[in-house]
Chains A and B, each alone.
Chain A
Amino acid sequence: MSILCGRDTRLLIQGLGRAGRFHGHQIIAYGTEVVAGVHPRRAGETERFSGETDHSGVPGREDSFSVDLPIFSGVAEAVDATGANASLIFVPPPAAADSIMEAAEAGVELIVCITEGIPVNDMVEAKRYLDSRSSRLIGPNCPGVITPGECKIGIMPGYIHARGRVGVISRSGTLTYEAVYQLTNLGLGQTTALGIGGDPVNGTSFVDALELFQADPATEGVLMIGEIGGPAEEEAADYVRSHMTKPVAGFIAGLTAPPGKRMGHAGAIISGGQGTAQSKIEAFRRAGIEIAATPSEMGAAMAAALGR
Chain B
Amino acid sequence: MNIHEHQAKELLSSYGVTVPLGAVAFTPAEAGAAAASIMEKTGGHMVIIKAQIHAGGRGKGSFREHPDAGLAGVNVVASGQTSLMGERMTELAEKMLGSTLVTVQTGPSGKVVNRVLLEAAVDIAQELYLAIQLDRRIARPVLLASTEGGVEIEQVAAESPEKLHTEVIDPAVGIRPFQLRRLAGRLGLTGKAASSYVDLARRLVAAAGELDTELLEINPLVINASGEALALDAKLSFEDNALYRHPEIAGLRDESEEEPAETVARKAGLNYVKLDGRIGCMVNGAGLAMATMDTVEHYGGSPANFLDVGGDTDEERVATGFRIITADPNVRGIFVNIFGGIVHCDVIAKGVLAATEQVGLSVPLVVRLEGTNVELGRRIIAESGLGVISATNMAEGARRIVELCR
CA A225 to CA B286, docked complex, whole Å: 13
* Docked-complex contact B339 and A174, CB < 8 angstroms: yes
The verdict on A82 contacting chain B, using a C-beta distance below 8 Å, is: no
Quick one: closest B residue to A143, CB to CB? B311
The verdict on B327 contacting chain A, using a C-beta distance below 8 Å, is: no
Residues of chain A contacted by B154 (CB below 8 angstroms): 272-273
* Docked-complex contact A120 and B394, CB < 8 angstroms: no
Residues of chain A contacted by B284 (CB below 8 angstroms): 174
Given A173-B311, A296-B395, CB of A120 within 8 Å of CB of B214:
yes
* Docked-complex contact A256 and B287, CB < 8 angstroms: no
* Docked-complex contact B287 and A198, CB < 8 angstroms: yes
The verdict on B232 contacting chain A, using a C-beta distance below 8 Å, is: no
- B284 → chain A closest CB, angstroms: 6
The digit string for A247-266, where 1 denotes a CB below 8 A from any CB of B, is: 00001011111100111111
Contact stretch, chosen from B177-185, B236-244, B317-325, B346-354: B236-244
Residue with the highest number of chain B CB atoms closer than 10 Å, among A160, A176, A254, A267: A254
Number of interface residues, chain A, beta carbon within 8 A: 63
CA A272 to CA B296, docked complex, whole Å: 26
* Docked-complex contact B136 and A201, CB < 8 angstroms: yes
* Docked-complex contact A124 and B341, CB < 8 angstroms: no
Residues of chain B contacted by A171 (CB below 8 angstroms): 287
Quick one: closest A residue to B302, CB to CB? A256
The verdict on A47 contacting chain B, using a C-beta distance below 8 Å, is: no
CB interface residues, A 222-279, toward B, < 8 Å:
225, 227-228, 230-232, 235, 251, 253-258, 261-268, 272-273, 277
Given A156-B341, A295-B394, CB of A257 within 8 Å of CB of B139:
no
CB interface residues, B 258-308, toward A, < 8 Å:
271, 273, 275, 283-298, 303, 306, 308
CA A198 to CA B341, docked complex, whole Å: 18
* Docked-complex contact B372 and A255, CB < 8 angstroms: no
CB interface residues, B 203-236, toward A, < 8 Å:
209, 212, 214
Quick one: closest A residue to B105, CB to CB? A260
Residues of chain B contacted by A94 (CB below 8 angstroms): 244-245
Given A124-B134, A296-B393, CB of A117 within 8 Å of CB of B241:
yes
Partner of B294, one of A26, A156, A254, A266: A254
The verdict on A200 contacting chain B, using a C-beta distance below 8 Å, is: yes
- B292 → chain A closest CB, angstroms: 8
CA A123 to CA B242, docked complex, whole Å: 11
* Docked-complex contact B172 and A128, CB < 8 angstroms: yes
CA A23 to CA B134, docked complex, whole Å: 33
- A271 → chain B closest CB, angstroms: 8
Partner of B275, one of A125, A200, A256: A256
Residues of chain A contacted by B242 (CB below 8 angstroms): 119-121
Residues of chain B contacted by A277 (CB below 8 angstroms): 294
The digit string for B380-396, where 1 denotes a CB below 8 A from any CB of A, is: 00000000000001110
Quick one: closest A residue to B296, CB to CB? A256
Residues of chain B contacted by A231 (CB below 8 angstroms): 136-137
The verdict on A218 contacting chain B, using a C-beta distance below 8 Å, is: no
* Docked-complex contact B290 and A268, CB < 8 angstroms: yes
Partner of B289, one of A117, A119, A264, A273: A264
Residues of chain B contacted by A213 (CB below 8 angstroms): none
CA A118 to CA B370, docked complex, whole Å: 30
Given A155-B311, A157-B341, A266-B241, CB of A178 within 8 Å of CB of B288:
yes
Given A157-B372, A232-B136, A272-B153, CB of A295 within 8 Å of CB of B241:
no
Residues of chain B contacted by A170 (CB below 8 angstroms): 287
The verdict on B371 contacting chain A, using a C-beta distance below 8 Å, is: yes
- A205 → chain B closest CB, angstroms: 10
CA A296 to CA B242, docked complex, whole Å: 36
Quick one: closest B residue to A298, CB to CB? B291
The verdict on B342 contacting chain A, using a C-beta distance below 8 Å, is: yes
The verdict on A21 contacting chain B, using a C-beta distance below 8 Å, is: no
Partner of B293, one of A128, A201, A256: A256
- B328 → chain A closest CB, angstroms: 15
Residues of chain B contacted by A198 (CB below 8 angstroms): 286-287
* B residues apposed to A, CB below 8 Å: 134, 136-137, 139-141, 153-154, 157, 170-172, 209, 212, 214, 239-242, 244-245, 271, 273, 275, 283-298, 303, 306, 308, 311-312, 339, 341-342, 370-372, 393-395, 398
The 5 closest A-B pairs by CB, nearest first: A172-B287, A264-B286, A174-B285, A175-B287, A157-B341
24 contacts between A and B (CB under 8 A): A26-B342, A120-B212, A123-B139, A124-B171, A155-B311, A155-B312, A155-B342, A157-B371, A178-B291, A181-B339, A181-B370, A254-B294, A256-B275, A256-B296, A256-B303, A258-B275, A261-B273, A261-B306, A263-B273, A263-B286, A294-B295, A295-B291, A295-B292, A296-B393
| New A-B contacts (13) at CB < 8 Å, excluding given A143-B311, A175-B285 | A121-B239, A124-B134, A124-B139, A155-B342, A157-B372, A173-B311, A174-B285, A174-B288, A178-B370, A227-B287, A255-B294, A263-B273, A295-B294
